[in-house]
Amino acid sequence: MTHSPSPQPPRFTPDAVTLAEVELARLGIGPAEISINVPADIGSKARAAGRLVVTDREGAPAGTLDIHGSTAEATGDDHGTVAVRGTVGTGDADEPRGPHSSLRAHPGKTRFDGWSAIVSHDPPDTYTLRAAGTDRPLLFIVLDGPRERPGPETAVTIRAVLTLREELRDTGQVADVVLVPAPHYGDHRDDALAVAIAESFGADLVRPALRADHAALQEGLDGGGQLPAAEWPAPSLEAWRRWRPPRHERGLVVFFTGLSGSGKSTVARAVVDRLNETTDRTVTLLDGDLVRRNLSAGLGFSRADRDRNVERIGFVAAEIARHGGLVVCAPIAPFAATRARVRQMVSATGDFVLIHVATPVEECERRDRKGLYARARAGELPDFTGISSPYETPRDADLVLDTTHVSVDEARDAVLGLLTEGGWLPPHPT
């Protein structure tokens, strides 16, 4: 009788929260048994192999789910996905992986028995530091993972706590920093997780004395105000400020959307010219046509290709915003869900302003600068927006412009007025 080898386990990258839960379970923290929604074909391959390799967003293995016959289950839903349930193997022997790997510690190997631990995604406040006291060694456990509310990036929080660690060491206190993958849920689960993480290293959780109210912090910083210096040590203040610098220094994405021929490129170009002439801000124009010749070369106009195109624009724009740049984008971007994804992507790193160039299709067709409407009407150009492919009118536009009866200069000034009122431009351009 021949023994057939078990098939290769499939690989799958789950959503960011599940991925962080798998990474935590691999460290022996939190529930080892995890359920992951996967496409039906991955589900059946995983059950056949008895395992699922969970990969991170770079495609590297982040953990393995051992699917036990007794716990494997498949619950179909409307989207052709199934839930596979299994146990995450703990990776004691593995090298730490991911960014800042030198700060990543495994509780099975590195112990902080009897230490106090401050556990958070955010840089710590003065009161919590005080509550930690000076009579015991202090461990900063920085949590790295998706947040329910945006806040300083992990790298920025790390920089703050590394500085605090040095300051404490200078006073003779024993202090250290470790990085642990963990999601932020925004509910009671966060407290329980913080306790579990501290305890896994043998440390006692210092309960946060101040609940960082991100909305209030953001409002204070948006208004150009200072955060109360008594509440935050200087390195934490700097981290919060880097998260939300004053608006005229903060990354901004001005996103035009509208039909072909509505005037997006013309107005966007006029806005960019004026910004370059009158401000010190660095400006990048990601015009629809230009993007399609480079970044999105080869893509067509199916819904999937348009989504890809617009998400690529969003990805690049978010990166530029992360560095404090101003980006003007001008694709048709006909789908509300895709625009919402871009807004969300950008909001993690900067601000997002949506401008709907709402020139009606009749006027766009009358202009028909490129003769595309005529070709679409003649049936030569399939999936043409406004004719044979939908345009979903935005409900969340910050400015609506119909260029039928306004000049290019007026449209440009309406956009610049919005940016000035919002504080993204200095009030008096030089």
Ligand X SMILES: Nc1ncnc2c1ncn2[C@@H]1O[C@H](COP(=O)(O)OP(=O)(O)O)[C@@H](O)[C@H]1O
Ligand Y SMILES: Nc1ncnc2c1ncn2[C@@H]1O[C@H](COP(=O)(O)OS(=O)(=O)O)[C@@H](OP(=O)(O)O)[C@H]1O
For ligand Y, the binding residues (CB under 6 A) are 260-261, 265, 288-289, 292, 301, 306, 309-310, 331-334, 370, 372, 381, 383-385, 389
Minimal distance, residue 258 CB to ligand X, in Å: 6
The burial of 99, by beta-carbon neighbours within 10 Å (0-12 exposed, 13-18 middle, 19 or more buried), is given as exposed
Does residue 264 touch ligand X according to CB under 6 A?
A: yes
Please give the DSSP secondary-structure letter assigned to residue 103.
G
Min separation Cβ 422 and ligand Y, Å = 25
Number of Cβ within a 10 Å radius of residue 326: 27
The partner in contact with residue 236, picked from ligand Y, ligand X, none with C-beta cut-offs of 5 to 8 angstroms by kind, is: none
| Nearer residue to ligand Y within complex by CB, 75 or 344 | 344
389 known member of a binding site:
no
Does 70 carry a binding-site annotation?
A: no
Nearer to ligand Y, 69 or 298 (CB): 298
Q: Is 370 annotated as a binding residue?
A: no
By beta-carbon proximity to ligand Y, the closer residue of 185 and 301 is 301
Footprint (CB under 6 A) of ligand X, residues 301-340: 330
Number of Cβ within 10 Å of residue 279's Cβ equals 18
Q: Which does 235 bind (CB under 5 to 8 A by kind): ligand Y, ligand X, none?
A: none
Binding part of the chain for ligand X, among 101-109, 258-266, 337-345, 371-379 by CB under 6 A, reads 258-266
Are 320 and 264 spatial neighbours (Cβ–Cβ below 8 Å)? no
Partner in contact with 403, chosen from ligand X, ligand Y, none, beta carbon below 5 to 8 Å by kind: ligand X
Tokens found for residue 334 = 């006909």
Residue matched to tokens 């608006």:
247
How far is it, in rounded angstroms, from Cα 403 to Cα 395? Answer: 19
Q: Determine whether the annotation assigns residue 259 to a binding site.
A: yes
User: Rounded to the nearest whole angstrom, what is the least distance from the CB of residue 269 to ligand Y in the complex?
Assistant: 11
The rounded distance, in Å, linking the Cα atoms of 161 and 149 is: 20
Nearer to ligand Y by C-beta: 317 or 333? 333
Q: Closer CB to ligand Y, residue 11 or residue 341?
A: 341
Least distance between ligand Y and beta carbon 301 (Å):
4
Among 107, 152, 258, 394, binds ligand X (CB under 6 A): 258
Q: In what order do the strands lie in the sheet with 351-357?
A: 283-287, 326-330, 252-258, 351-357, 399-401
CA distance readout (Å), 401 to 1, 184, 272, 327, 335: 75, 39, 17, 19, 18
Task: Check the annotation: does 263 bind a ligand.
Answer: yes
Per-residue contact track with ligand X, 366 to 405, x per CB under 6 A? -x-x---------------------------------x--
Does 296 count as an annotated binding residue?
Answer: no
266 binds ligand X (CB under 6 A): yes
Q: Least separation, in Å, of the C-beta of 399 and ligand X? A: 13
Residue 254 or 267 having the CB closest to ligand X = 267
How far is Cα 249 from Cα 221, in angstroms, rounded to an integer? 12
Rounded to a whole number of angstroms, the minimum distance from the CB of residue 293 to ligand Y is 10
Which residue's entry shows tokens 């009122």? 421
- What is the rounded CA–CA span in Å between residue 273 and residue 286? 14
Q: Is 261 annotated as a binding residue?
A: yes
- The angle at the Cα of 401, spanning 398 to 402, to the nearest 5 degrees, equals 150
* Alpha carbon distance 292, 329 (integer Å): 12
Q: Which of 64, 120, 157, 262 binds ligand X (CB under 6 A)?
A: 262
Residue 79 Cα distances to 17, 37, 82, 351, angstroms: 20, 10, 9, 33
Look at residues 41, 45, 19 and name the one whose alpha carbon lies nearest to residue 30. Answer: 19
Report how many residues bind ligand X under the rule CB under 6 A: 17
- Residues lying near ligand X in the complex (CB under 6 A) are found at 258, 260-267, 330, 367, 369, 403, 406-408, 411
